[in-house]
A and B are shown apart, each in its own frame.
Chain A
Amino acid sequence: MIPSSRDVVLGRIRNALGPDRAARANAAVQRRSDIPVWTRPVFLDDDTERFIAKAEASFCTVERLASINGAGEAVERLLAVRGPDRDLSIAPSLIKMPWPQSWKINFGAGRLIEKVSITDALAGIAETGSLVFCSEASRPASLNFLPELHIAVLRRCDIVHHLEDIWPKVRALPVWPRAVNIVSAPSRTADVAQIVVRPAHGPKALHILLVEELP
């Protein structure tokens, strides 16, 4: 019988690593429950302050709101410079929020022409000022990448200290998401003569609505 490529490749690896296959399998299982504590950056700043400072340093804009009920007005202020057109895509997870009646809203996946989208983040990371989005039926990942202006809603209590602190939150979801998008800045490239250009393929601007509470 001709061995499968899987057998051949694993065979080569086992030849190199030696005969103690069971010990290696055991080591890999053991590691899952026995994760070493690796070095983490130490910082003492307040997580909210740090998150805002880091996000702003990465060319994001941050606006603090007492409640999600103020989001409609905040977005209106933001869009005032863009003319009267209000054709937005909003994640279905935010469908029950009090959005202005006059808006034309696509509660669905991202479209070919996508000016503005609003999505909600699972968490923020104080260490880097990053947002974490997990895809699911009511949270299409494409809305995080297609618009010119991406507006992200983040609850202040969802800001965690370190990058590692998001994993328990993701693991706690009912289904492991197809996409976990950690977004730290608007899209950029330096592929033409090392000149930094914003945007490349993703959003030109990332505006974060940092809300004290969601209903």
Chain B
Amino acid sequence: MTAHPLNFDRRVAAGLGDEGLQKSLSALKGSFVAARGRAVLALPEFEALRDDGKAIKDHTLANLDAYLETYEAAVIARGGHVHWARDAAEARDIVRAICKQAGARTVTKGKSMVSEEIELNAALEADGLEVVETDAGEYILQLGREMPSHIVMPTVHKTTEQIADLFQKHHAAHGFPDRTLDAAELIGQVRSVLRGKYFKADVGITGANFLVAETGSNIIVTNEGNGDLTSTLARVHIVTTGIEKVVPTLEDLSVMLRLLARSALGSEITSYTTLSTGPRRPGDLDGPEAYHVVLIDNGRANMLSGHFREMLRCIRCGACMNHCPVYMSVGGHAYGSVYPGPMGAVLTPMISGHEAAGELPHACTLNGRCQSVCPVKIPLPDLLRRLRHEQWEQKLVSGTVRFGISAWAWLALRPRLYRATTSLAMRVLGRLGRSKGAFRWLPLASGWTDGRDLPAPEGLTFSELWARRQQR
């Protein structure tokens, strides 16, 4: 996974200044965040389900080798093939080899974040394959050569106007020469352009929301039906998935499904939930002739030891980013990774390394909302704090920040000096700001005051106020 955190500051500024993005992000609050709230209210058992979901994932992760072997045996028993990939490069090579062996020319793809993570499309295109994303959002991004900015709603940053321009450019050849701003017409074009591709596809690639060890099934949930057409109509079905997606049984899967749709979209269940298991059976009139699963590690197994195991419970619902004030201000592209928001800020360093993650763990206010909505109760703020600590230990924190924090720590360890300094500062600032009640600009702090005013202190420090209160 290529992470580009080095220009984090610049991309944050771009996100904050992008009017279209800001409009989309506030719409997200009104739609998906509100819908999730309603769905959770409507299910009194939701909190208990979160505990169950956590318990299921914890149990599976604690016995992961056993469940992966059980899963593998079940896939093979039903005529499928299982491939293991250490990293992204190996995963790409496995998929490329399967496509080559199948004599493939056209590849359709359902939405798969793991395939984004391993940058599969570029590799397949380099082999001369026609690769077609079929999820409407992913298709739009493919035309625009862009990364998703949200793991559930990949096009949340794009305006109707931008999509209309893209389609006018690319769909004229398909009999749609006119620019339209009607969402239904735009989606109608996608349906029309892609319908033939499903039938033409030699290979169909999907991800997996879950794997079931008991049956050897992969599960995909969609509202569009694109993943199902991809996996049903191509000659070969390839599933790209992380090793952490497995759950033991169908009963466990049922719990996870109840959590996923509510957390992601505020729905009780998606339009389509499909379990695919192996290739077509003898006599079947449709379905792939071959079924392959690529189980991808790419940093996940290492997360099992130590503090970050909890992150492997993630079911990629996106609730954490929908409820994150930072994500909701800067948008997904600012993170420079296919996984944005709180879950991305933890996952990106695990997959791409601490150095690649750069500022991401710092893009957090530690307000805790992500943890409170996470369907599997991942302590995201704790994990982000730990990443900050690790970055500090590994001397990956920039000189200026290091100096500032060290200076503050030096001062904070000397209570008398600390009190004298802060008391003086509060009095000076209090007097200077008395007339207007706030500062519009402060020396060395323009980065902060550019976006907001700093309220002027009342003249006393917290310690002084506290001491006074105690006396009373």
A→B interface (CB under 8 Å): 4-6, 8-10, 12-17, 21, 24-25, 27-28, 31-32, 35-36, 38-42, 54, 58, 92, 108-110, 112, 127-128, 130, 135-137, 140-142, 144-146, 162-164, 167, 170, 175-195, 197, 199-203
- A182 touching B272, Cβ below 8 Å: yes
Q: State whether A201 touches B224 (Cβ < 8 A).
A: yes
Instruction: List the B residue with the shortest CB-CB distance to A183.
Output: B272
Enumerate chain A residues within 8 angstroms of B70, measured Cβ to Cβ: 28
> Does B284 contact A163, Cβ atoms closer than 8 Å?
no
B49, B63, B214, B304 — which one has the most chain A CB atoms within 10 A of its CB? Answer: B63
Interface residue from A31, A136, A141 paired with B249 (Cβ < 8 Å): A31
**Is B52 close to A, CB under 8 A?**
yes
State which residues 180-211 of B face A: CB under 8 Å. 183-184, 186-187, 190-191, 194-196, 199
A200–B274 touching, CB < 8 Å: no
Bound CA span A32–B213, Å: 10
Bound Cα distance from A163 to B258, whole angstroms: 9
CB contacts (< 8 Å) of B223 on chain A: these are 185, 187-190, 200
Find out whether the CB atom of B251 lies under 8 angstroms from the CB atom of A164: yes
Contacts known (A13-B64, A128-B269); A202 close to B45, Cβ less than 8 A: no
The answer for the CA separation of A43 and B131 in the assembled complex, in Å, is 46
Q: Is the CB of B90 within 8 A of A187?
A: no
Q: Does B19 contact A (CB under 8 A)?
A: no
Q: Are A38 and B229 in contact (CB under 8 A)?
A: no
Are B284 and A135 in contact, CB atoms less than 8 angstroms apart? yes
Q: Is A32 a contact partner of B284 (Cβ separation < 8 A)?
A: no
Known: A41-B258, A180-B274. 16 other contacts (CB 8 A): A8-B84, A10-B68, A15-B305, A24-B65, A31-B59, A35-B251, A39-B51, A92-B285, A112-B195, A112-B196, A135-B281, A180-B277, A183-B272, A187-B224, A193-B183, A202-B229
When the two chains form their complex, are residues B154 and A182 in contact, meaning their CB atoms are under 8 A apart? no
Contact between chains at A140 and B257 (CB < 8 Å): no
- Which B residues, 131 to 159, have Cβ-Cβ distances below 8 Å to chain A? 134-137, 140, 153-156, 158-159
Q: Tell which of B23-31, B99-107, B397-405 binds the partner.
A: B23-31
Number of residues in B with C-beta < 8 Å to the partner? 103
Complex Cα distance, B72 from A6, in Å, reads 11
Interface residues of B in 208-241 (CB under 8 A from A): 213-215, 217, 223-226, 228-229, 231-233
Does A203 lie within 8 Å of B225, measured CB to CB? Answer: yes
Check if A191 sits within 8 Å of B251, measured CB to CB: no
Q: Report the separation of the CA atoms of residues A187 and B194 in the bound assembly, to the nearest whole angstrom.
A: 15
B319 CB → nearest A CB, Å: 16
Q: How far is the CB of A30 from chain B (nearest CB, A)?
A: 10
B390 within 8 A of A: no
B67 part of interface (Cβ distance < 8 Å) = yes
User: B278 contacts the other chain (Cβ, under 8 Å)?
Assistant: yes
Asked if B273 is an interface residue, CB under 8 A from chain A, the answer is yes
Instruction: Annotate B248-265 by CB proximity to A: 1 below 8 A, 0 otherwise.
Output: 111110110110000000
Whether B191 and A179, one on each chain, are in contact in the complex, defined by CB atoms closer than 8 angstroms, is no
From known contacts A28-B63, A178-B277, A200-B223, infer whether A38 and B249 are also in contact, taking CB-CB under 8 Å. no
* A24-B63, A178-B278, A180-B274 known; A202 vs B248 contact (CB < 8 Å): no
A9 near B295 with CB under 8 A, answer: yes
Nearest CB in chain B: distance from A164 CB, A:
5
Query: Is B279 part of the contact surface with A, judged by Cβ < 8 Å?
Result: yes
The reply to whether B232 and A136 contact each other, CB–CB distance below 8 Å, is no
Q: How far is the CA of A42 from the CA of B64 in the complex (A)?
A: 32
Instruction: Tell me which of A27, A36, A162 has the highest count of chain B C-beta atoms within 10 A of its own C-beta.
Output: A36
How far does the Cβ of B227 sit from chain A's closest Cβ, in whole Å?
A: 9
Q: Is the CB of B304 within 8 A of A181?
A: no
Given A5-B90, A12-B301, A178-B287, answer yes or no on A191-B153 (Cβ-Cβ < 8 Å).
yes
Alpha-carbon distance A36/B248, docked complex (angstroms) = 11
The reply to whether A181 and B136 form a contact with Cβ atoms under 8 Å apart is no
| A194–B287 touching, CB < 8 Å | no
A192 touches B163 (CB 8 A): yes
Closest to B65 in A: A13
Q: Collect the chain A residues with CB atoms within 8 Å of residue B214's CB.
A: 32
Asked if B24 and A194 sit within 8 Å, CB to CB, the answer is yes
A194, B28: Cβ atoms under 8 Å? yes
Closest partner residue, chain A, to B85 (CB atom): A5
What CA separation (Å) do A210 and B277 show in the bound complex?
Answer: 28
Q: Is the CB of B90 within 8 A of A194?
A: no
The reply to whether A136 and B304 form a contact with Cβ atoms under 8 Å apart is no
Can you list 10 contacts pairing A with B, beta carbon distance less than 8 Å?
A16-B301, A35-B252, A188-B271, A191-B136, A191-B154, A192-B155, A192-B163, A192-B186, A195-B183, A201-B226
B302 beta carbon closer than 8 Å to chain A? yes
Is there a chain A Cβ closer than 8 Å to B58's Cβ? no
Does B286 reach chain A (CB closer than 8 Å)? yes
